[in-house]
């Protein structure tokens, strides 16, 4: 079964708690919290305070995606706020292994993300340290974009290279393209627009849960 992680970037920013509760009640597995620093990506989103408040109202794991040049500066704040999974980008200048170790030391799961144009080989050195690889299926920074299907090959390649942890995709995922991602070895799907615009989120999540590797 593919885990479904609604991205609150697509939620109503004035009713974030209500939308997060709605997603949890609809049966999602994680809540994806995008964090943007207006430098690594040309947008700004969410803070450790958002995570702290969400942690109080939903019981599903919070999957925090740090689209930041220097995630190490706010890492403790996100971890203390209750982030369950923290993902940093492979393209940053920090010591990736050291940041992944700090995430593990705080008891959270550690993820490493690749922009669509970053090759799978980039994360080979971290296969044993990362609980999850996030293969971005859009250029990070905004929701509502079209999935870049070049990334399907990257997901297949990560499996062929022997990665056995979670592989998450994020950006432009909808009911009509998730099966192809699942067939490549995906285990977690981040969905923002497709879920928060759905007429019946619970029914959508049920259909999505039925997809798996064929
Ligand atoms: C984009 C974010 C994604 C985005 C997904 O940088 O990382 O999580 O919110 O949204 P949709 O599913 O609308 O493309
Ligand atoms: Zn994201």
CA distances from 68 to 12, 55, 206 (A): 23, 21, 33
**pLDDT (0 to 100) of residue 37:** 98
CA atoms within 13 A on the CB side of 83: 33
Q: Distance, CA 128 to ligand 2 centroid (Å)?
A: 22
Answer whether 42 contacts ligand 1 (Cβ < 6 A): no
**What does the pLDDT average to over 84-109?**
98
Confidence class for position 213, pLDDT limits 50, 70, 90: confident
Task: Please compute the mean of the pLDDT values over residues 26-47 and round it to a whole number.
Answer: 98
Helix (H, G, I), strand (E, B) or coil at 162: coil
Position 142 scores a pLDDT of 96
Q: Is 186 in the pocket of ligand 1 (CB under 6 A)?
A: no
Mean pLDDT of the chain: 97
Q: Please tell me the predicted confidence (pLDDT) of residue 101.
A: 98
Please identify, by atom number, the ligand 1 atom nearest to the C-alpha of residue 195: 12
* 62-67/31-37 β-pairing: parallel
8 Å CB contact between 88 and 114: no
Q: Which residue has the higher pLDDT, 192 or 213?
A: 192
**Would the CB of 7 count as within 6 Å of ligand 1?**
yes
Mean pLDDT of 45-66: 98
Report the percentage of the chain scoring pLDDT > 90: 99
**What are the residues whose beta carbons fall under 8 Å from the beta carbon of 108, sequence distance 6 or more?**
79, 83, 84, 85, 86
Question: What is the CA(161)–ligand 2 centre distance, in A?
Answer: 24
Q: Please report the pLDDT score of residue 212 as a whole number.
A: 81
Ligand 1 lined by 111 (C-beta under 6 Å): no
- Best of 46, 143, 149, 175 to mutate for ligand 1, by most ligand atoms within 8 A of CB? 143
Residues with a known catalytic role:
34, 170
Return d(Cα 91, Cα 128) in angstroms, integer. 18
The answer on pLDDT for 207 being more than 80 is yes
DSSP conformation class of 61: P
Q: CA-CA distance, 166 to 134, in Å (whole number)?
A: 8
Q: What is the pLDDT of residue 130?
A: 98
| Start-to-end C-alpha separation, the chain | 11
Q: Please report which confidence band the pLDDT of residue 214 belongs to, taking 50, 70 and 90 as the band edges.
A: confident
Rounded average pLDDT over 5-15:
97
**Coil, helix or strand at residue 188:** strand
Q: Is the pLDDT of residue 43 over 90?
A: yes
Q: Is the pLDDT reported for residue 171 higher than 90? A: yes
The rounded Å distance from CA 137 to ligand 2 centre is 10
Rounded to whole angstroms, how far apart are CA atoms 85 and 63?
5
CA of 87 to the centre of ligand 2 (A): 9
**Ligand 2 ion: nearby residues, β-carbon < 5 Å:** 34, 65, 170
Q: Is the pLDDT of residue 173 over 90?
A: yes
106 Cα to the center of ligand 1, angstroms: 26
Mutate to test the pocket of ligand 1, among 41, 87, 171, 205 (most ligand atoms within 8 A of CB): 171
């Amino acid at each position: 079964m593919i885990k479904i992680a609604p991205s609150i970037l697509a939620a109503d920013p004035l009713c974030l708690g209500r939308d997060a509760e709605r997603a949890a009640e609809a049966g999602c597995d994680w809540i994806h919290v995008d964090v943007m620093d207006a430098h690594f990506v040309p947008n700004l989103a969410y803070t450790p305070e958002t995570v702290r408040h969400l942690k109080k109202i939903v019981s599903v794991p919070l999957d925090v995606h740090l689209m930041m040049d220097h995630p190490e500066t706010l890492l403790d704040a996100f971890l203390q706020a209750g982030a369950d999974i923290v993902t940093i980008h492979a393209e940053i200048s920090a010591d990736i292994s050291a940041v992944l170790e700090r995430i593990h030391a705080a008891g959270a799961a550690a993820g490493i993300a690749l922009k669509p144009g970053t090759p799978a080989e980039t994360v080979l050195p971290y296969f044993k340290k990362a609980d999850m690889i996030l293969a971005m299926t859009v250029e990070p920074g905004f929701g509502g974009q079209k999935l870049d299907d070049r990334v399907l090959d990257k997901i297949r390649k990560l499996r062929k290279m022997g990665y056995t942890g979670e592989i998450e995709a994020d950006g432009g995922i909808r009911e009509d393209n998730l099966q192809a991602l699942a067939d490549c070895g995906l285990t977690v799907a981040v969905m923002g627009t497709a879920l928060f615009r759905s007429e019946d989120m619970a029914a959508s999540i049920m259909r999505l849960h039925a997809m798996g590797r064929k």
